[in-house]
């Protein structure tokens, strides 16, 4: 009889332990401190793009070519590296090229647009979201949700046309 009671008691502890484990694991995502980079507070024009300060973050958008745009986000505000930094997505000789970008601000200052001859980058200021459009205004890519970060990790969401393809996101 003692053996049976031990088994029942042991079973109760196992069930209680499993419930506590599942509760702890399910709470982990809520413990993560994901934060939006916040609204754009300052925009500085660069010869080949712009640098945007949003909360503690800095976002640098530069044109490598008329149809190649590079976005660098530094959540801590550390200055984004120069155009000569390493990239898995851009060949070393291509990093030496730059293309000029024109910057226009909306009348109500809700967004800015950076434009090369081929691509327009629209930066909505609050919340800070980036979209890419063709010369004709068709959406190539856009962020339905602002970028979020947790320490050095970040999450980015993109919506895109069904037949579109991208290379180098996340480099």
Q: What is the tally of structural domains in the chain?
A: 2
Q: Is 161 domain-assigned?
A: no
Q: What is the pLDDT of residues 107-127, one digit of tens each?
A: 678 999 999 989 999 999 999
Average the pLDDT over each of 10-24, 92-106, 139-153 and give the range with the smallest value.
Answer: 10-24
Mean pLDDT of 140-166: 82
Q: Is 137 domain-assigned?
A: yes
CATH of the domain at 110: 2.60.40.1760
Is the pLDDT assigned to residue 51 strictly greater than 70?
Answer: yes
Q: Is 160 domain-assigned?
A: no
For residue 4, give its domain range. 1-31
**Same domain flag for 96 and 17:** no
**Same domain flag for 95 and 126:** yes
Strands 111-115 and 139-142: unpaired
Q: Is 166 domain-assigned?
A: no
**Same domain flag for 12 and 61:** no
Strand partners for 149: 35, 154
Is the pLDDT assigned to residue 85 strictly greater than 70?
Answer: no
Q: What is the pLDDT of residues 144-155, one digit of tens each?
A: 888 888 877 878
**Same domain flag for 108 and 27:** no
**Same domain flag for 124 and 149:** yes
The predicted pLDDT at position 79 comes to: 66
Contacts of 21 (CB under 8 A, 6+ apart): none
Q: Is 123 domain-assigned?
A: yes
Strand partners for 131: 122, 142
The predicted pLDDT at position 74 comes to: 83
């Amino acid at each position: 009889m003692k053996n049976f009671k031990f088994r029942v008691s042991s079973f109760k502890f196992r069930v209680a332990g499993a419930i506590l484990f599942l509760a702890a694991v399910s709470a982990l995502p809520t413990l993560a401190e994901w934060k939006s980079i916040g609204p754009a507070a300052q925009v500085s024009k660069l010869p080949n793009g712009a640098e945007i300060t949003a909360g503690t973050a800095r976002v640098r958008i530069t044109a490598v070519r008329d149809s190649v745009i590079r976005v660098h986000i530094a959540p801590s505000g550390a200055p984004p590296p120069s155009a000569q930094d390493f990239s898995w997505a851009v060949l070393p000789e291509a990093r030496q090229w730059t293309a000029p970008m024109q910057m226009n601000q909306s009348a109500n200052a809700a967004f800015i647009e950076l434009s090369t001859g081929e691509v327009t980058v629209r930066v909505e200021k609050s919340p800070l979201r980036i979209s890419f459009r063709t010369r004709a205004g068709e959406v190539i890519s856009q962020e339905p949700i602002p970028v979020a970060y947790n320490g050095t990790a970040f999450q980015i969401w993109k919506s895109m046309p069904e037949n579109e393809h991208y290379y180098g996101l996340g480099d």
